[in-house]
Amino acid sequence: MVVIMKPGTKPERIHALVEKLEQDYGVKVGITNGVGCSILGLVGDTTEIDINKLSINEDVERVMRVQEPYKKANRKFHPEDTVVDVGGVKVGGGSFTVIAGPCSVESEEQIIEVARDVKEAGASLLRGGAFKPRTSPYSFQGMGTPGLDLLLEAKEATGLPIVTELMSPKFCELFEEKVDLVQIGARNMQNFDLLKEAGKMTKPILLKRGLANSYEEWIMSAEYIMAAGNENVILCERGVRTFETYTRNTLDLSAIPAIRRMSHLPIVVDPSHAAGMYWMVEPLAMAAAAVGADGLMVEVHNDPPHAKCDGQQSLTPEKFQRLMDRITPLVDLMGKKLS
Ligand code: PEP
Ligand code: MN
């Protein structure tokens, strides 16, 4: 961190600030005296320093961070890729993991049929929402706890570990017991109480990018989970809001190489919620694999026209099979192994 002092600040006031910074935060401060003004260079862990608080010091002209405000998720301090184990399935570090299943669990027949189909096509994790974050309170809100039990039945029938969304801290215990990968949805990416509770869980977390959040804000949310004790976080790019209305969201493919440079956490792509249209899912999935994603999350439904949620963007099992057939050689070309 660099602190530029106002021109003409008296040396004793500069020294008082240096002493305070060193004492309060345990950093080392070097002073460079330029023409008319002095610059302080802070070395050490500056993550706890509040820039805004420091900026209101009347002797301070400007404060700039040179180091990112996240530490645990930062690749600088953890150069090798993190590999997250989801019920025996490895995510990250050379694997390409496909998560597939319906938007929401609707019935025993539906989830078991889809689970069998996606497994046969090559998916290694089963998704399905039991608690659904819906824009309208009149829309289907998910089956709730019985939906979780149906996911467990589908897991028993296929061996696929399960991924489902946690919306409230009050269900942490239930999810801890039943779910293999706990999803935090886009709408809750900055629900800090939820993030802190997820950080106390032992199950890995799939953290989706918020509807309009920057890479840094997203990584800071991962940092919340990690700082609370859970370092098994997988990031999921699912498109962001832009001026374009043709698609549901705009898939931000730049996020993959950018996050790869900023963080050691695995990153997967959800082309279904990005596109909002089934026919765009395959090309976006191919593009995600080509920019180096660690996997995909794809919505698959056995009867999309009658789906209770997101049928318009769901692939039929046949279309999903085709996607898997086409993406497999690309995954190989990218030097990854389908897990
Ligand atoms: C989902 O995956 O079911 C979902 C609701 O996605 P998002 O949070 O990305 O909108
Ligand atoms: Mn959905």
Q: What is the pLDDT of residue 245?
A: 97
| Residue ranges in the chain assigned as alpha helix (H) | 11-25, 51-55, 108-121, 145-158, 172-178, 192-198, 215-227, 255-262, 271-275, 278-290, 317-333
Name the residue of 151, 183, 249 to mutate for ligand 1: max ligand atoms within 8 A of Cβ: 183
* 72-128 pLDDT per residue, tens: 999 999 999 999 999 999 999 999 999 999 999 999 999 999 999 999 999 999 999
Measured from the Cα of 236, ligand 1's closest atom is 9
For residues 114 and 142, is the Cβ–Cβ distance under 8 A?
A: no
Residue 176: exposed, middle, or buried by beta-carbon count in 10 A (0-12, 13-18, 19+)?
middle
d(CA 196, CA 41): 32
Q: Is 150 left (phi over 0), alpha (psi -120 to 50) or beta?
A: alpha
pTM to 2 decimal places: 0.95
* 135-154 pLDDT per residue, tens: 999 999 999 999 999 999 99
Name the residue of 273, 284, 301 to mutate for ligand 1: max ligand atoms within 8 A of Cβ: 273
SS3 (DSSP) at 28 = strand
Neighbours of 170 (CB within 10 A): 9
Instruction: List the beta bridge partners of residue 163.
Output: 127, 181
Spacing, Cα 105 to ligand 2 middle (Å)? 11
Q: What is the pLDDT of residue 151?
A: 98
* Ligand 1 in reach of 317 Cβ (< 6 A): no
For residues 160 and 115, is the Cβ–Cβ distance under 8 A?
A: yes
Q: What is the pLDDT of residue 36?
A: 84
Q: Which residues in the chain show pLDDT less than 50?
A: none
* Ligand 1 in reach of 319 Cβ (< 6 A): no
All residues with CB under 5 Å from ion ligand 2: 103, 310
d(CA 85, CA 90): 5
Please report which ligand is nearest the Cα atom of 309.
2
Which 8-state DSSP code applies to residue 141? -
* Ligand 1 in reach of 208 Cβ (< 6 A): yes
| Residue ranges in 26-50 assigned as alpha helix (H) | none
Measured from the Cα of 270, ligand 1's closest atom is 9
Pick the residue whose CA is nearest to atom 9 on ligand 1.
Answer: 186
d(CA 1, CA 3): 7
